Structure 1
Amino acid sequence: MSLLRRRRGVTAPPPAPTPARPPTERPAQLLRRLEFGVVRRLDGVLFGDYRGLFYGPSLDLAEVREYQPGDEVRRIDWNVTARSGRLHVRQYREERELTAWLVIDTSASMDFGTRRVLKRDLAKEFAGLAALVIARHGDKVGAITFGPRAGFTPPRGGRAQALAVLGLLSRETPGGPETHRSADLAEALTAVERTLRRRSLVFVVSDFLEEASRGPGSWTTALGRLAQRHDVVAVRVSDPAERVLPDVGGLRLRDPETGGELWLDTSDPGVRAAHARLVAQRDGALRRALTSVQVDLLDLGTERDPVGPLLRFTAARRGRRT
């Protein structure tokens, strides 16, 4: 924000009235919409082999074999390699039962959106979709939320659990039978690491804006520890207005996390160029941080439903593993 200066001669207009929000869907309504409008579109594409697309190897060791080009470096068995003098990797059998966790951001920045839905509603859609897919195969899913509305629901199976996850995300106050009051992502990831006793699939759903402002060091270490034992996917939710600053004249902007305000002349090309540089720096820092701990990134935008990005993400994972 220090790069953005007020333009001389421009006076701030009175704040515009806040537009009315569309009524928020109840958990049961959202679940039915996802079942009939979204999940069916994934039939035959994702459900048949969703474990191979989302879920990495289990901890059930099957054999050790020689390294082949394309094998993951983190699978190398250094003890066998040292004894034999040749690179060997560990090969695992899939666990019969999958446990998945949704770690979801409920901070104030998630209440923003200028397109189809707010970011928090997009996170809710993804959480409901993931819970339905996993529960449909008889596996378990749990959820931990961090931020002002921190909460927890233990992993269970079935459609009722998908409804419970959506219910947790719909609360305006902290809730859950065993609330984890995690203020930020680093604390939430540490809480998840302490909770998990067996290898799991973990989705971290956030806009990562607060983490970007603090720098990757505050949460990358916790994410790296989690990724060493579990299959972790970062799901970033964003809005087009956060990526490209529109030329709409004077704007009064308010930081939802701190309450600070800034008057901005978006018609100034220098202001828009500075914003573009900041967005590129923030995006590059996030991608480097995730790559350093071998965590894949799924990008979702409020301007479209999550099906298209989800299918492209799983296709890319399938191609890389093949």
Structure 2
Amino acid sequence: MATDTAELLKKVRRIELKTKGLSNQIFSGEYHSAFKGRGMAFSEVREYSVGDEVRTIDWNVTARLGTPYIKIFEEERELTVILVVDVSASDSFGSVEQLKKSVITEICAVLAFSAITNNDKIGVIFFSDKIEKFIPPKKGKTHILRIIRELLEFKPENPGTDISMALRYLNNVVKKRSIAFLITDFLDNDYETSLKLANKKHDLVALNIYDRRENEMPKIGRVLFSDPETGEMNWVNTNSRKLRQQYAERAQMREVHIKEACKRAGVDVANIATNESYIKPLRNLFSKRS
């Protein structure tokens, strides 16, 4: 047990060193410009000047004083960030360099360090086809290291994926408007309505984590395929050109469905492959929102 704990702490430390450095050097400023300023709080009123936005006029104060006054807003100093993390069995898949779970853990750590650098609270919802765990939002390095530990060692009770259920829970449990990152491989079907509803209450961003073998089937003869979420096993002849083509076409259709569903819901989405660096897609996402 002591050895397991020591090994876990080493893993936490390695992830902390890598992701904290990335956050400080690369993402912190871009995170700030992408998300700060979207939460605006009322500060005070002042007398109207030519050129001010008419829609900011405070009609109650104007009526009381007999001269136009406008509301002054300032950037909220503190935001709440919620990571909505898919921990279903499919996250244990990875064919090239890293498992999806490893990539998700690093991305969550980068976002967490970016959040505390900007003095924001951060919380996590772990979900499969049920809510597996909720860590309420807090600040501080100790809190982030706890999140990283949970990401590394968490074992879900259920294997499936239910994105809609997770987003309903987000809306119910997090009352204040937050920045919510949905981090999943989207191995689910009916989630578009929930994306729309969650994005109305929160500022929702989607990160689609995928492995290239989910998009293309290698030609390696007869292979026993296992579905990690259902446990179903089937022998597949990967030498069949028709089968490989159908596999690729279904993957492409799924990719288009994710993109279109997010677009209709007004949700920004970044696609992140397990065999590539997540730095570029995250930076592109942040730049797009700045």
Same fold (TM over 0.5): yes
Measured in 2, the distance between the counterparts of 1:309 and 1:58 equals 24
Q: Call closer, same or farther: CA 1:25–1:243 in 2, change over 3 Å.
A: farther
Q: Call closer, same or farther: CA 1:198–1:33 in 2, change over 3 Å.
A: same
Q: CA deviation at 1:24?
A: 11
Q: Call closer, same or farther: CA 1:302–1:187 in 2, change over 3 Å.
A: same
Summarize the alignment of residues 199-278 of structure 1 with structure 2, pairs less than 5 Å apart: 199-209=177-187, 211=188, 215=189, 218-278=190-250
Summarize the alignment of residues 150-169 of structure 1 with structure 2, pairs less than 5 Å apart: 150-169=132-151
Q: CA deviation at 1:58?
A: 1.6
Selected match of 2:103 from 111, 116, 122? 122
Task: Name the stretch that deviates more: 151-160 or 45-54.
Answer: 45-54
Q: SS of the residue aligned with 2:271?
A: strand
Measured in 2, the distance between the counterparts of 1:222 and 1:294 equals 12
Q: Call closer, same or farther: CA 1:173–1:238 in 2, change over 3 Å.
A: closer
Q: Call closer, same or farther: CA 1:45–1:118 in 2, change over 3 Å.
A: closer
Q: SS of the residue aligned with 1:245?
A: coil
Gaps of 5+ in 2: 46-51, 56-71
Is 2:81–2:180's contact at 8 Å kept on the other side of the alignment? yes
Q: Which residue of 2 aligns with 1:171?
A: 154
Measured in 1, the distance between the counterparts of 2:161 and 2:255 equals 23
Instruction: Note if 1:60 corresponds to 2:41.
Output: yes
Is 2:124–2:134's contact at 8 Å kept on the other side of the alignment? yes
Q: CA deviation at 1:251?
A: 1.2
Q: CA deviation at 1:273?
A: 0.9
Instruction: Note if 1:36 corresponds to 2:36.
Output: no
Q: CA deviation at 1:93?
A: 4.1
Q: For 1:120-168, what per-residue CA distance to the aligned partner results, in whole angstroms no more than 9, with x for missing partners?
A: 1211111111111111222110001111781111101111111121233
Q: Which residue of 1 aligns with 2:116?
A: 135
Q: For 1:183-206, what per-residue CA distance to the aligned partner results, in whole angstroms no more than 9, with x for missing partners?
A: 621111111101122221000011
Gaps of 5+ in 1: 1-22, 68-90, 175-181
Q: SS of the residue aligned with 1:40?
A: helix
Identity of aligned residues (%): 28
Q: Call closer, same or farther: CA 1:258–1:133 in 2, change over 3 Å.
A: same
- Bigger share in helix: 2
Q: CA deviation at 1:235?
A: 0.9
| Aligned-partner residue type, residue 48 of structure 1 | G
Measured in 1, the distance between the counterparts of 2:5 and 2:281 equals 24
**TM norm structure 2:** 0.80
Q: Which residue of 1 aligns with 2:262?
A: 290
Q: SS of the residue aligned with 1:46?
A: helix
Q: Call closer, same or farther: CA 1:312–1:25 in 2, change over 3 Å.
A: farther
Q: CA deviation at 1:48?
A: 2.4
| Aligned-partner residue type, residue 103 of structure 1 | V
Q: For 1:238-265, what per-residue CA distance to the aligned partner results, in whole angstroms no more than 9, with x for missing partners?
A: 1111111111121111111111122211
